[in-house]
C-alpha cells in the first residue's frame, strides 16, 4: 500500500452514467443494457469511507467472514490523520506513530483478514429496501445487504495563503491532538465560538501564550467559557482581526492580520496556528435519505450505529460532533460492524 485512500471525501456528480463493463462491450454481449460490473454480487457489507472508523469496521466484519468491500477515496486520499505528523494518544504506541503510518497499519490489518479495499469514489447511494445500491463515479453499481457509512467530517478552512502548505508544520485543527508539541510556544487560535474558546483554554496547558483571534468585537461562545478565557493570564484576545496569511518556510513563524475596522495590517509572531471555526460532517451522499441531527450529523439510535433506514449503519465523525478523536472513531467503527453482523443474522 503506497498511496492511502483513507479519507472520507467522495465525488458528488450530477446524474449517473452507468459503465456497462468490459463484458458488455464485447461483440458477443447478450444485450446492450447489461448491468454494470459489480451489480451481480450482493455483498454482505459495503463500507463507504475509511479512516479509523471505516477500517475498524472492515477489520471486525472481515474477521466475522462477511467479506466486506470498502470504498476509500481516490479524489482526496488522506483524512485528518494523514495530515498529522505524530500521533501520541492512540493506544498501543508507546513512542507515538506518524499519522500516515497508523492509517497504513490499520488498513493492512483489515486486508489481512480479507477486507477488499478499493480506492474508488462513491457518487450516490440507494439505501431503501433489502438490497442497497452503491454507485461509483465510473457508473458501476455495487449491491449489499448492509451499508456502513464512515465518511467522516471536514474541518472548515480559513482559505488563506500558507494554511494548507504548513498543515502539520504548525497549522492544526485539533488542540487535543497536537497541543503537546507546542510546549512553551506562542500560539494563535482563530475563531470565536465555544470550540475556539475550549481550544484556547486547553492550549494554555502547553503554550507560553495563546492569542485568540476573532473577526468581531464580541465572542459567540457561552458566557461561562468567555469568562474563563478573559480571566486566564495566558490568553489574549485580539479583536476585529482576520488572518490574511500564515507565514513560514518549513514551519509557522507568524501570521499577518487584517484589522476588520481600519483595514490596517500587522504581523503577530507565533509558532502554531489552531483553526477552530467549526467542521462539517460529510453527509452529501445521504442528507436527503437519512435522518440528520441538528448538528448535521447522521442520527443514530442511542449508543448504536443504527440509522433511520434498516440495514444502514454509520460510524466515526459523521455521527460525532463532540469528541472527534481517532480512538472514538475506531470504537464506533467496531459498534457499526457488530450492529451490521447482528442485523445480517436476523435476515
Question: Across-strand partners of 190?
Answer: 213, 275
Burial class (CB in 10 A: 0-12, 13-18, 19+), 143: middle
CB 203 within 8 A of CB 274: yes
Question: Across-strand partners of 235?
Answer: 210
Query: How are beta strands 116-119 and 69-72 bridged, if at all?
Result: parallel
Q: Which of 44, 121, 174, 317 is catalytic?
A: 174
Return d(Cα 304, Cα 171) in angstroms, integer: 34
Q: To 10 degrees, the CA torsion angle through 165, 170, 173, 177?
A: 130
Q: Which of 80, 178, 320, 339 is catalytic?
A: 178
DSSP class per residue in 21-61: HHHHTSTT-S-TTPPPTTSS-EEEEEEE--HHHHHHHHHHH
CB 267 within 8 A of CB 244: no
Q: Where are the alpha helices (DSSP H) in 158-263?
A: 175-178, 194-203, 223-231
Q: Quick check: is 177 catalytic?
A: yes
User: CA of 318: how far to CAs of 159, 167, 292, 300, 336, in Å?
Assistant: 23, 22, 10, 10, 12
Return d(Cα 105, Cα 108) in angstroms, integer: 5
- Active site positions, annotated: 174, 177-178
Amino acid at each position: 500500500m503506497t498511496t492511502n485512500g483513507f479519507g472520507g471525501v467522495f465525488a458528488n456528480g450530477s446524474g449517473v452514467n452507468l459503465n456497462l463493463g468490459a463484458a458488455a462491450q464485447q461483440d458477443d454481449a447478450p444485450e446492450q443494457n447489461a448491468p454494470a460490473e459489480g451489480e451481480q454480487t450482493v455483498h454482505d457489507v459495503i463500507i463507504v469511507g475509511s479512516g479509523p472508523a471505516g477500517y475498524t469496521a472492515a477489520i471486525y466484519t472481515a474477521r466475522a467472514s462477511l467479506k466486506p468491500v470498502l470504498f476509500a477515496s481516490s479524489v482526496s486520499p488522506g483524512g485528518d490523520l494523514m495530515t498529522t505528523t505524530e500521533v501520541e494518544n492512540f493506544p498501543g504506541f508507546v513512542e507515538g506513530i506518524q499519522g500516515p503510518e497508523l492509517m497504513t497499519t490499520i488498513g493492512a490489518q483489515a486486508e489481512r483478514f480479507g477486507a477488499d479495499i478499493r480506492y474508488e469514489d462513491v457518487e450516490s447511494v440507494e439505501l431503501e429496501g433489502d438490497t442497497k445500491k452503491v454507485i461509483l463515479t465510473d457508473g458501476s453499481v455495487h449491491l449489499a445487504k448492509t451499508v456502513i457509512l464512515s465518511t467522516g467530517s471536514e474541518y472548515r478552512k480559513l482559505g488563506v495563503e500558507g494554511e494548507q502548505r504548513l498543515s502539520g508544520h504548525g497549522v492544526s485543527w485539533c488542540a487535543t491532538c497536537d497541543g503537546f508539541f507546542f510546549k512553551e510556544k506562542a500560539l494563535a487560535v482563530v475563531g470565536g465560538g465555544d470550540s475556539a474558546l475550549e481550544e484556547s483554554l486547553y492550549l494554555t496547558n502547553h503554550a507560553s501564550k495563546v492569542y485568540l483571534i476573532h473577526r468581531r468585537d464580541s465572542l459567540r461562545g457561552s458566557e461561562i467559557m468567555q469568562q474563563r478565557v478573559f480571566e486566564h493570564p495566558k490568553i489574549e484576545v485580539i479583536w476585529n482581526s482576520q488572518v490574511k496569511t500564515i507565514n513560514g518556510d518549513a514551519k509557522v513563524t507568524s501570521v499577518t492580520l487584517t484589522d476588520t475596522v481600519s483595514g490596517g495590517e500587522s504581523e503577530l509572531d507565533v509558532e502554531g496556528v489552531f483553526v477552530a471555526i467549526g467542521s462539517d460532517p460529510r453527509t452529501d451522499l445521504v442528507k436527503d435519505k437519512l435522518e440528520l441531527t441538528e448538528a448535521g450529523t447522521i442520527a443514530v439510535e442511542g449508543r448504536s450505529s443504527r440509522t433511520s433506514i434498516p440495514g444502514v449503519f454509520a460510524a466515526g465523525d459523521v455521527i460525532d460532533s463532540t469528541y472527534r478523536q481517532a480512538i472514538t472513531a475506531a470504537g464506533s467503527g467496531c459498534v457499526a460492524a457488530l450492529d451490521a453482523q447482528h442485523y445480517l443474522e436476523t435476515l
